[in-house]
Amino acid sequence: MANTEFHSGFVAIIGRPNVGKSTLLNRIVGQKVAIMSDKAQTTRNRIQGIYTTKDTQMVFIDTPGIHKPHSRLGDFMVKSALSTLGEVDAVLFMINADERRGAGDNFIIERLKAVNKPIYLVINKIDQIHPDRLLEIMDQYKDAISWADVYPISALEGNNVDELVATLKSKLPAGPQYYPADQITDHPERFIISELIREKVLDLTRQEVPHSTAVVIDSIKRQDEEKIHIQATIIIERSSQKGIIIGKGGSMLKRIGSMARRDIERLLGDKVYLELWVKVQENWKDRENLLASYGYRQ
Ligand code: GDP
Ligand code: K
Ligand code: MG
């Protein structure tokens, strides 16, 4: 058999807001909403996307603290961001080719100096500039730190992105496939989100509704740049439970919604508009054909 060794690793994408980090992720991971997270990871870093091929898995993470200005909280965040960066296999530092090096970039660069991992300078939005300008911007950064490599790209149009991915791939160490291959295309966050909502239902109703209560995520869509729209249905087995969940004038459902929304926002790192519905479905758990329509899979 040919060499089938699997390679995998974590890649952090950092850079000032609006340089194009999400756009690059969406291009690499290949779907519009690259929202994805692992509950256990949310305090330190967020998984933003997973790229899987038959012999490679690249997990892209965000390290929120590295972008924050100085403050007491900022200090703590920066420390955890730095320890995260010490654990990844590569760091992509992204800049906008159309903007001069500024305080925000310097803030990050200062911190990157302490990071002993290959750091790639990714100069994005080259579609917007004249090639002369590219040399100028490269000059501004060339001695900032010792770059593993420099990639001028257009995340929007795709220029040079395959080359960047190929380089990252070739540098990944042998390792396991951390996540199922279909994870990013199958909205794995659905499960975590439904669990977060279910948890609030059980907590707030003080177990007056049974554990068999299910929450099904009907849709997750990006509403606009700032917000993700999530529709979910709480499925109960008896109509007598409906009143408990909805509460007087809808007050209970509102509380469930707002507490769940806060957790989901933390999970996804985005603003969320959460729409909750309640549906009675007797013995739903026994009806396999329904399970499929509720998005449960083996
Ligand atoms: P982030 O804040 O770093 O995640 O940046 P986004 O990915 O949200 O991008 C910010 C804006 O820059 C969006 O309007 C993108 O469409 C735009 N953008 C991202 N990459 C490129 C690029 O390569 N070329 C151009 N012209 N615009 C880009
Ligand atoms: K943005
Ligand atoms: Mg973004």
* Mean pLDDT across the chain: 80
Nearest ligand 1 atom to alpha carbon 23: 7
Establish if 193 belongs to a structural domain.
yes
Residues 19 and 115 reside in one and the same domain = yes
Could you tell me if the CB of 158 is within 6 A of ligand 1?
no
Establish if 178 belongs to a structural domain.
no
* pLDDT above 50: residue 111: yes
Residues 102 and 226 reside in one and the same domain = no
Give ion ligand 3 contacts, CB < 5 A.
Answer: 21-22
CATH number at residue 67: 3.40.50.300
Q: 284 is in which domain, residue-wise?
A: 189-293
Residues 61 and 155 reside in one and the same domain = yes
Tokens 């803030």 locate to: 107
Among the candidates 117, 144, 171, a domain finishes at: 171
**Residue 233 DSSP class:** E
Asked casually if ipTM beats, i.e. exceeds, 0.90, the reply is: yes
CATH number at residue 209: 3.30.300.20
Residues of the chain with pLDDT > 90, as a percent, come to 37
d(CA 84, CA 28): 22
Q: How many domains does the chain have?
A: 2
Establish if 262 belongs to a structural domain.
yes
Residues 150 and 224 reside in one and the same domain = no
Q: Where are the extended beta strands (E) located within 102-164?
A: 119-124, 149-152
Residues 14 and 146 reside in one and the same domain = yes
Please name the residue whose Cα sits nearest to atom 19 of ligand 1: 20
Could you tell me if the CB of 129 is within 6 A of ligand 1?
no
Residues 241 and 148 reside in one and the same domain = no
Phi first, then psi: give them for residue 190, nearest 5 degrees. Answer: -50, -50
Nearest ligand 1 atom to alpha carbon 159: 23
Could you tell me if the CB of 226 is within 6 A of ligand 1?
no
pLDDT digits (tens, 9 = 90+) for 240-273: 889 999 999 999 999 999 999 998 888 777 889 9
Please name the residue whose Cα sits nearest to atom 18 of ligand 1: 20
Among the candidates 143, 171, 199, a domain finishes at: 171
pLDDT score of 215? 86
